[in-house]
């Protein structure tokens, strides 16, 4: 019998306006609420022996504080920075400062959107990016992050 995998802790960062999921532009972002996404992540986390700790903030400083505070007790981050994806050097700096792996996720395919949304300041330092699959992007990102952490590369 294979040994139980080591329990992991994953921090999930949700940026501005993601608290409005389910009613915010459903043609782009879908009808799934952030609470539903977080419930699904918790279920997948249990399957993967990972605990999920989620935070949502409309404030850039709140996200930075979350990165710094959570870094002491998580193994990596799943990040949907929302609009800060395209603008926040400070959030990138916080993620780099704590030196933990992170996966960037997006509900929509940012590369098929407006020009200003096609550039991510986080992507070049993320271990990977997943987008365009709606709420499933979070689950795919979580699975990829856990796989990365367990493989150790």
Q: Is 84 a catalytic residue?
A: no
Catalytic residue among 73, 84, 86, 106: 106
Q: Is 106 a catalytic residue?
A: yes
Q: Which two tokens stand for residue 26?
A: 């459903």
Smallest CA-to-CA distance from 80 within 151, 43, 32 is with 32
Q: Which two tokens stand for residue 22?
A: 């389910």
Residue 125 Rama label (left phi>0; alpha psi -120 to 50; beta): alpha
Catalytic residue among 29, 84, 111, 148: 29
139 three-state secondary structure: helix
Active site residues: 29, 106
């Amino acid at each position: 019998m294979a040994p139980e995998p080591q329990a992991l802790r994953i921090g999930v960062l949700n940026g501005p306006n993601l608290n409005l999921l389910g009613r915010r532009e459903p043609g782009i972002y879908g009808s799934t609420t952030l609470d539903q996404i977080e419930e699904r992540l918790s279920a997948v986390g249990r399957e993967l022996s990972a605990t999920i700790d989620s935070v949502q903030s409309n404030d850039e400083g709140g996200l930075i504080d979350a990165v710094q505070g959570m870094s002491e007790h998580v193994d990596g981050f799943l990040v949907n920075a929302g609009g800060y994806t395209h603008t926040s050097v400070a959030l990138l700096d916080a993620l780099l400062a704590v030196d933990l792996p992170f996966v960037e996720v997006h509900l929509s395919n940012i590369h098929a959107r407006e020009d200003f949304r096609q550039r991510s300041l986080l992507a070049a330092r993320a271990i990977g990016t997943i987008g365009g699959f709606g709420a499933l992007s979070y689950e795919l990102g979580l699975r990829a992050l856990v796989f990365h952490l367990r493989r150790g590369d």
